[in-house]
Each structure stands twice: as structure tokens, then as C-alpha cells.
Structure 1
């Protein structure tokens, strides 16, 4: 086929339904533009019309996939935190690692995921906009459950096997993640500098939680269980 016919072919294809490859490229284009706009302008000042213009796509291209700006923002957040979930699902340090080593590994992964610049910027944006747009905070909370699912699964299995005492793995995963991230601290200060500081932070977090999560010795009564008896 002569290269002289290619421009006409592209024009003809652009007037019809895009190929799967073209559709994927268009989606990536406007999602990247949406992320940039949300981070630079904030949620309120961002519009789908401006996103479409910046991405070089028609507004209808975006509206075919997302009914409004809120739905588009949820997808931007979801994509940003998906890498964090993948990080949590990566193989653990060693198949024969003890609970302390596994938890150290998880705490460091959670900290690194939360302080990744793009994710951190989105988290800050949601917090800043939460009062005016509470639905954004709700969507972020749902994403947090999605990210922590692999941690919940590990804690539940460790509890079933008698290696840890975590009768409520969902709550324990949230508590562990809060300690791992450092709460408000990492929103207002620079991330920990380097692997040595991160490991020291993780050591402190894991030492703290293991005091409450270690199972009682065989034959111990309810009062000897972590949190049992007063």
C-alpha cells in the first residue's frame, strides 16, 4: 500500500468507530489530561470541557464513558491507587518468612505507596475538597478498602493459622495502614529520607502492633488473650 494513501485512510477511520487500539489511546489521553487538571486546578475548577480540549478529544468521547466529573475523578483516583494494590499483592519477602518480617515488608510497601508523589497529591486534593464535595471522600474510602484487601487476606489467614491474633482483620488492616502511613504527618512533611529511615519507622510500627497481635500461649484463658481481662 502506498504511503500516499495513509492520510485519507486515517481520515476515513476517524469518522467511524475507532479501533480498540484507538479507543484505548483516546482514553489514556483524556485520563492523563484529567489527572493533570485535577492536580493543578483542583476539583472545583476542573471541567470536562477543558479536559477534552487539553486532550484533543471531543467532549462526547469522555461523556460516553463517564456520566459526570465525579465519575471521571473516581476513575482517576482508582488508577492512581491501583499500583498500590498491586504492590500489596506482590510476593512477600520469603515464603518461609515469619510474621514480623512479613509485617515489616507490608508496612514499608504501604508507606512507599502512600507517599508516591502522584498518589500523595491526589490524597491531599481529596482532603482539601472533602468539605465541599463529601462524595469524593467517600470514593477515596472505598478505594482504601480495595487497596488493603491483600493485607486483610494475609491477616485473616494468619489468624486462622494461629500465628497472629486478629479476630477483625479488616479493622486491623486499617489500623496497620494508618500507623504505616504516619497519619497527618506525611501530608504536611517530607517523606522519610531513604531505606534506613523507612525500615526504622517500620520496625517501630511492627513492634507496637505485635504486642497486641501475638496469640496467647496454648492453654491460656480469655484474660490472657491480647485485650482480654481488665
Structure 2
């Protein structure tokens, strides 16, 4: 009987497996993202994120020094993911198709439920936590700049009337897409479906492409 009990409590030798620094970072970002989205910036604490991630606050403080820096870590990760999504799919072969794909990727970033929740939280808490607002706006600017660069690169081999400014065209397209986000933020029952976001993006893109009136691509 004693041997059976000892067999049950017997544990493997050696130390338990330790997460790598990268694994800890990924787990921390995932947990912090969930807590920020569910509790808002004001309601989020390092302790709450630690519980969600299943790690100690000491481990978190080895990565970030405070809540503002934790949010920045989450925002930077979202930027990297967002910019990667702006790349043109390999199966897109036309200029118009590439612009449509770019706009759709951007639209799903800002009009998806996560994007709207982030914007809504900033609107509600920006006066109390200006660092929250500043980090958010910095993230938005970085993604917008990436969008503009890709938009211009896609259209750089096309010829247009002399009065066409591709940077202004990119800004116009982003502004039209962003207009729907402002409405979504103020609508507490908003639920952005993929099909509705794509339809809105395509409508904005078709308007922008028509306004550009591109001539035949150079060399085509």
C-alpha cells in the first residue's frame, strides 16, 4: 500500500520547464491584450495581467516598467501584425486588385471589433490617461504611414494627370475608411462583420480609383 502511495506522488526529476524570453513575451502580450480590451486602460493592472498570464508580477516588470509601457508593448505588437497584413497577397496580379487588397486589410484593422474597442477605450479615457491616447495615436500613425507607402508603391508605375497627388489619394482613401470607425465607436451595439467591412472598403476604394482616372500603366 505504501509503495502505491509513493508511486502516485512520485514526480519527475529535475526542474520544471522554464519558458524562454520570447515565449514569456508572447504570453504576456496575449494576456495584456485581453485584459485591456475587457477592462479598459483604467481598469487594467499589472496584477490582473499577471493572473491572466499565469506569471508573477516580477516577471512582467522584467519586461516593462509600468502599465503605460505594457500598453505600448501591446500596441507595437499590433502594429507589426497590422503592417504585415498590408502586404499584397501573392495571387493578386492587377494594380486595381492590389489596391483593393490593401484597403481591405486596412479596413479590417480599424473596423474589426478589436480596432473599434481600442478606439472606444481611448475616447473614453484619453483625458485621464494622456499617455494611453499618445501611444494609441502613435500606433495609428505608424500603420497609416505604412499604408501610404504601399499605396504609392502599387501605383508608382502608372501615369496620371499632372494634378494627381498619390499621397493625397492615399490619405483620402484612409479617411473614407476611417469615417466608418467614428460611427462604430459611438454605436455600443456595433458588430463589424467581415462581409460588411469588405463591402465598405471596396466602395471607398472604387471611388478613389475612379477619382484617380489612371491612364494605361507605363510600358503596358
> 1-side partners of 2:116 and 2:184: how far apart?
9
Give the secondary-structure state (helix, strand or coil) at the position aligned to 1:10: coil
> 2-side partners of 1:160 and 1:39: how far apart?
39
CA deviation after TM superposition for structure 1 residue 129, in Å = 1.5
Give the secondary-structure state (helix, strand or coil) at the position aligned to 1:89: coil
- The answer to which structure, 1 or 2, has the higher relative contact order (CA under 8 A, 6+ apart) is 2
Q: RMSD value over aligned CA atoms?
A: 3.1
Residue in structure 2 matched with residue 176 of structure 1 by the alignment:
173
> 2-side partners of 1:53 and 1:150: how far apart?
35
CA deviation after TM superposition for structure 1 residue 70, in Å = 0.3
CA deviation after TM superposition for structure 1 residue 29, in Å = 3.0
Ranges in structure 1 where 5+ consecutive residues have no aligned partner: 218-230
Residue correspondence of structure 1 range 1-230 to structure 2 within 5 A? 6=12, 8-10=13-15, 18=18, 21-91=19-89, 94-95=92-93, 97-98=94-95, 100-158=96-154, 160-164=156-160, 167=165, 169=167, 172-181=169-178, 182-187=180-185, 188=187, 190-191=190-191, 193=193, 195=195, 197-198=196-197, 200-214=199-213
TM-score of the superposition, structure 2-length normalised?
A: 0.73
TM-score of the superposition, structure 1-length normalised?
A: 0.70
Whether contact under 8 Å (1:84, 1:114) holds in the other structure is no
How many residue pairs are counted as aligned between the two chains?
202
> 2-side partners of 1:66 and 1:211: how far apart?
47
Whether contact under 8 Å (1:52, 1:58) holds in the other structure is yes
